[in-house]
Amino acid sequence: MSKQNDHNVLFDKNRLFDSSNSEGVRPICQYSEERMGAALTTPVKPSSAPITFKSQGSTQFTGGLPGYTVLDNVWYRNGTLYMIENGNDDLPNQDKLLTLAPVGGDGIHTLTTVKIESHGPEGEITELDGTTIFCNDGWPGSWSGYFMYYHFASEVILGSYSVLSSVSNKPLPSEMKKPWNVYKGLGRRLDLHEQHYGNDQISLGSSNDIVNKGSKADRILVAWEWNWDGKDGLTRAVSQGLVGEKGLLDPPKWKEITNDNRWIYFERLLLTDRDTAHHNNRLSQKWYKMALDTYKLVESPDQLQNFRETFLNHYKIPIVNRPKPGQSIDGKKLKIIYTDRQGSQRKFPEEVHEELLTQMQNIEQSGKAHIIDAKLENIKLEDQFALFADADIIFGVHGNGLTHELWMPPGGVVIEIFPPQTFAYDYPPISAVLGHEHIIWRENQTFPSDLWEPENGGEGNRLHDGSPFPLNVPVFSEWLQKKIDEML
């Protein structure tokens, strides 16, 4: 059998991939049961020079939304998050910032403000430069979903990067202190004098370099959810792909750097909180999806290219793009990935699956497409990412495998198959923010988007109780052939 490379083989159904409060400190709120709802990076390092509340400056609200709030100059110690008063009232209230955990266990249980004139802090300090995504779910009584690929990668992480794309013009506090800082849009330096030491000249740098430092994460912190990476390791792999191994702080590492009541200083903190997002954001309330409102902050899929490229570069996967949305990448043949879930409860009847494989083989023999039957549970994680990095079409029954659309070049097509009278608004908004066309197929026809809202969640038990997914294979295959022709 011929093949293009290790990740792009011709369709073969017989060959699978193997592969206590001091002066100046005021508590804002503590936990109560009534409030609780149902790249390589700058390393973690002790502060090399004494830093204080005053030296680092007041806490600034930089942007974002409830559940995905971006703050500059934030401190943490022993279950308390400290914000430094700036004399303004622009800092978010607790109910717009985070859900507090019970006192005495894991989680943030107190939110406190400190006057900037206050002395302190006293004790050892660990300084976290750059941008930290702080995943604040998973303490006892808080459901995180981090152990599921879709909930972590598509909601927590993609939602965070969507927010970061909206604050990319906000320099980090450390950059604001530099005399050569350039404010994006003003086109001038604060201090135009270049400095010379001997024969060496200090470069002023570019404005884009300065402002774009705020558009990426330097680390991902999963503080409380000890089972966060699940059985397949996908969520850990996603995190390491974006911030490197040194940029990932998991619960054991977080416990290690905080168990001696050490102060933690965050230069920029993006605080994610599932319950806060659901309680405050319009679209999250409507669809009960955590990240929907964050996606609306992305003006173009191009703003998320750094997200995808950083990830693929980490795994040394070639970055390809298509000439324009809706076209095949190479203009000759489409690469189509079928996410095969026959090894799970959510699947086609076996005879339907065999008929589908036969029809896909017939389509491939037309010379217009490579079609890959991908049993993802048999494929190494790095190979899964590479498999989707140059895909044109992804199709399969509703499930976690479709989350791999994150790595497909913008402008692709995702076909999600549901049983009749069943729909879940999980993947369509992800496709939209990434620039993909999303098509819902139910048995023998496409399901129009104007019916998504009234039927969302209908007969949802059929997605989890082992009910078979019916599919009219001839009708679906004929439709798919037309879609292939449209993309060539």
Write the CATH number for 415.
3.40.50
Question: Which whole number is the average pLDDT over 461-468?
Answer: 86
Residue 275 and residue 388 share a domain? no
CA 221, 232, 374, 319 dihedral sign is positive
Euclidean distance between CA atoms 175 and 31, whole angstroms: 35
pLDDT in the model for residue 454: 83
**pLDDT above 90 for 30:** no
Residue 141 and residue 274 share a domain? yes
Q: Which domain holds residue 199?
A: 31-301
Q: What is the pLDDT of residues 236-278, one digit of tens each?
A: 999 999 999 999 999 999 999 998 889 999 999 999 999 999 9
308, part of any domain: no
Q: How confident is the model at residue 42 (pLDDT cuts 50, 70, 90)?
A: very low
Residue 285 and residue 408 share a domain? no
pLDDT in the model for residue 391: 98
**pLDDT above 80 for 459:** no
366, part of any domain: yes
238, part of any domain: yes
pLDDT in the model for residue 36: 33
Residue 277 and residue 185 share a domain? yes
Task: Name the packing angle between helices 305-314 and 234-243 (round to 10°).
Answer: 100
236, part of any domain: yes
24, part of any domain: no
* DSSP letter, residue 272: E
Contact 176, 229 (CB under 8 A): no
Residue 288 and residue 332 share a domain? no
pLDDT in the model for residue 84: 94
Q: How confident is the model at residue 108 (pLDDT cuts 50, 70, 90)?
A: very high
Task: Read off φ and ψ for residue 72, nearest 5 degrees.
Answer: -105, 145
231, part of any domain: yes
pLDDT in the model for residue 483: 97
Residues 6+ apart with CB under 8 A from 379: 17, 18, 19, 387
Residue 351 and residue 471 share a domain? yes
Question: Which whole number is the average pLDDT over 454-468?
Answer: 84
pLDDT in the model for residue 464: 86
Question: Which whole number is the average pLDDT over 326-339?
Answer: 96
Euclidean distance between CA atoms 55 and 446, whole angstroms: 59
Residue 271 and residue 334 share a domain? no
Residues 6+ apart with CB under 8 A from 130: 41, 42, 172, 213, 217, 218, 219, 267, 268
Residue 270 and residue 364 share a domain? no
Residue 171 and residue 296 share a domain? yes
311, part of any domain: no
What's the mean pLDDT when you consider all of the chain?
A: 85
Residues 6+ apart with CB under 8 A from 224: 101, 106, 107, 136, 137, 138, 139, 142, 144, 251
Residue 378 and residue 284 share a domain? no
Question: Which whole number is the average pLDDT over 120-142?
Answer: 94
pLDDT in the model for residue 338: 98
**pLDDT above 70 for 80:** yes
pLDDT in the model for residue 455: 85
Q: What is the pLDDT of residues 197-216, one digit of tens each?
A: 233 332 333 334 443 554 78
Residue 194 and residue 108 share a domain? yes
pLDDT in the model for residue 43: 54
281, part of any domain: yes
Q: What is the pLDDT of residues 152-211, one digit of tens each?
A: 999 999 999 999 999 998 999 988 776 544 444 433 333 333 333 233 332 333 334 443
Specify the number of domains making up the chain. 2
pLDDT in the model for residue 175: 87
Question: Which whole number is the average pLDDT over 433-445?
Answer: 97
- List the structure tokens of 313: 């570069």
Residue 288 and residue 195 share a domain? yes
Q: What is the pLDDT of residues 470-481, one digit of tens each?
A: 999 999 999 999
Contact 373, 11 (CB under 8 A): yes
Distance of CA 363 to the CA centre of its chain: 35
Q: Record the pTM.
A: 0.85
